Amino acid sequence: MGGKILSVASECVPLIKTGGLADVVGALPAALAPLGWEMRVLLPAYRSLRRLFEEAPEAWPEVWHEENLWGGDGRVRAGTVDGTEVLLLDAPHLYDREGGPYVGPWGDWIDNPRRFAALSWVAACIAREGLAGWKPDVLHAHDWQAGYAPAYLAYHGNGGCRSVITVHNIAFQGWAPVSQIDDLRLPGWAFHPAALEYYGGLSSLKAGLVTADRITTVSPGYAAELARPEFGLGLQGVIVERAAVVSGILNGVDTAVWSPEVEDVNPYSAKSMTGKAAARAALCAEFGLEVPGPLAILVSRLTDQKGVDLLPAALPAFIEGGGGLAVLGSGAAEMEAALHDLAARYPGRVSVRIGYDEGLSHRMFQGGDAVLVPSRFEPCGLTQLYGLRYGTVPVVAAVGGLADTVINASPMALAAGVATGVTFWPTDELGLSQALRRLLALHADRKGWTRLVRNGMAQQLGWEVSARAYAALYDGLLA
Ligand code: ADP
Ligand code: GLC
């Protein structure tokens, strides 16, 4: 069928990224275009993005305006970035600030509920009324930052536009005190448990979940997990209540960016792996490592979700068995400190870079033998997919999208020749150390290892299949 989609999010590659949300929001428009769906992406004009329209105002005409968008002018400017049609919400009083999208020099911005209510409000206005010559059929909201957009459509009229919300991570719920209900332009009559009320306050994510026409999340496994308290984290009741409209659609990989064949330095393919050996040597030199056994990498936000705190207990036996670890990440100060301690304890075997570095992350996937993803929960996860693609064997906790995408090297899977990695459960120190022990054994068997690597590299990880699933979802909404 096909039609027009307004995608609303706080992150989008290549413009602004703190995690996988940005990869997915950035990849969807190009993936959906061949299927007849024209997707435009609405984003806040953060300080780092303002140069786009300040340097080339003629390329970014104003297409929408509200005089008092929570205390200042809100203008939407339309332009194109790498072939994607982007709508930037220019509201300097909300977004022209130093720091990241959510966090300033002193922590989370205290007006985050308003900042993202404003984004959602503008999305709902565009969805309801359209822009000159462009009226969306579906509003597609991502995560808590866009959660109020379906709610505004539901409470203030939808103008015929349907809505979808995608949960990339249910742990972030967009909480605000109920005293803000009027300020957030939400109806007081909807403050009850079946609608906006959430543990005595407001949650933009819950608001989206109760009002959107469809709910998706980024893997079938996580969709099922969300109905349980330990994964739903307070919102499991809403998920169960709306089970009939909940589905899981696995994220894809942007293979134009994430493929060993397209790397400028040390490219390789399953057929010719010499580039990978060279990349490994270069990576060891860059990190100051000398590793006789498997070189594991970890590229991650350093938060409780990611299970990085399990490493100090699980790593020693792996190191003694010949393994090594290169880490790239940033986040919680105590996790950064614990990683530095490990590096000091195992010089030449463990090395850590704190920070965010896209180029280095590519070199790590190229040069590593294995990638660790010991998450406590993982809605989809992208780094295990990059690992598969680069022949860097994933060692993952068997949760959410990790369990959906990695085939554990069990005796049966090995015998059938289909294994692609190592999975373990539960996510605890014992689980991770046993997984690392299995990694050592698998790596020691050269023929078996080659098979494992090849199987991973042969997986179909592009967006084609998932784009068709989104297209079918939109079709179903408009039928
Ligand atoms: P999440 O979105 O929960 O952080 P994902 O696995 O979905 O987890 O996505 C993480 C994305 O961010 C991947 O593209 C990964 O390569 C990237 N990433 C995470 N930390 C860093 C870092 N320190 N430097 C570069 N890229 C990083
Ligand atoms: C979230 C999740 C991650 C997922 C990403 C993109 O950040 O933590 O698992 O891959 O969103 O959907």
DSSP-assigned states of every residue in 97-159: -SS-SSEETTEE-TTHHHHHHHHHHHHHHHHHH-BTTB--SEEEEETGGGTHHHHHHHHH--T
Q: In sequence order, what DSSP letters do the residues of 156-221 get, joined into one string?
A: H--TT-EEEEEES-TT---EEEGGGTTTTT--GGG-STTTTEETTEEEHHHHHHHH-SEEEES-HH
Q: Are residues 282 and 175 in the same domain?
A: no
Instruction: Quote the domain boundaries for residue 402.
Output: 260-457
CATH number at residue 67: 3.40.50.2000
Site to substitute for ligand 1 among 255, 258, 297, 383, most atoms within 8 A of C-beta: 383
Q: Are residues 69 and 182 in the same domain?
A: yes
Q: What is the DSSP letter of 41?
A: E
Q: In this structure, what token pair is assigned to residue 36?
A: 């007849």
Q: What's the gap in Å between 231 CA and the centre of ligand 2?
A: 14
289 — pLDDT class (breaks 50, 70, 90): very high
Q: Are residues 65 and 184 in the same domain?
A: yes
Q: What's the gap in Å between 334 CA and the centre of ligand 1?
A: 19
Q: Are residues 217 and 126 in the same domain?
A: yes
Domains contained in the chain, number: 2
User: What H or E segment, with its residue span, contains residue 468?
Assistant: helix 464-478
Per-residue pLDDT tens digits for 396-415: 999 999 999 999 999 999 99
Q: Are residues 278 and 244 in the same domain?
A: no
Average pLDDT over every residue of 445-455: 97
Q: Are residues 93 and 227 in the same domain?
A: yes
Q: Are residues 9 and 52 in the same domain?
A: yes
106 — pLDDT class (breaks 50, 70, 90): confident
In sign, the C-alpha dihedral spanning 225, 149, 252, 274 is: negative
Interstrand relation of 37-44 and 3-8 (parallel, antiparallel or unpaired): parallel
- The ligand that comes nearest to the alpha carbon of residue 225 is 2
The yes-or-no verdict on residue 152 having pLDDT over 90 is yes
Average pLDDT over every residue of 64-72: 97
Interstrand relation of 162-167 and 214-217 (parallel, antiparallel or unpaired): parallel
In this structure, the number of other CB atoms found within 10 A of the CB of residue 345 comes to: 13
Task: State the closest ligand 1 atom to the C-alpha of 355, by its place in the atom list counted from 1.
Answer: 23
Q: What is the pTM of this model?
A: 0.96
Q: Are residues 474 and 369 in the same domain?
A: no
In sign, the C-alpha dihedral spanning 17, 20, 23, 28 is: negative
Q: Are residues 244 and 275 in the same domain?
A: no
For the chain, percent of residues with pLDDT exceeding 90: 98
In sign, the C-alpha dihedral spanning 111, 117, 120, 126 is: negative
**Side-chain-facing half-sphere of 339: CA atoms under 13 Å:** 27
Are the CB atoms for 388 and 407 separated by under 8 Å? no
Site to substitute for ligand 1 among 12, 16, 18, 23, most atoms within 8 A of C-beta: 23
**Is 299 close to ligand 1, i.e. is its CB under 6 Å away?**
yes
Q: What's the gap in Å between 22 CA and the centre of ligand 2?
A: 9
Q: Are residues 429 and 369 in the same domain?
A: yes
* Number of helices and strands in the chain (H, E): 19, 20
**Is 324 close to ligand 2, i.e. is its CB under 6 Å away?**
no
**Is 20 close to ligand 1, i.e. is its CB under 6 Å away?**
yes
Q: What's the gap in Å between 444 CA and the centre of ligand 2?
A: 33
- Of 425, 386, 372, the closest CA to residue 403 belongs to 425
Q: Are residues 356 and 391 in the same domain?
A: yes
- Name 277's Cβ contacts closer than 8 Å, sequence gap at least 6: none
- Name 200's Cβ contacts closer than 8 Å, sequence gap at least 6: 178
Q: Are residues 472 and 441 in the same domain?
A: no
Look at ligand 2, atom 11, and give the residue with the nearest C-alpha: 168
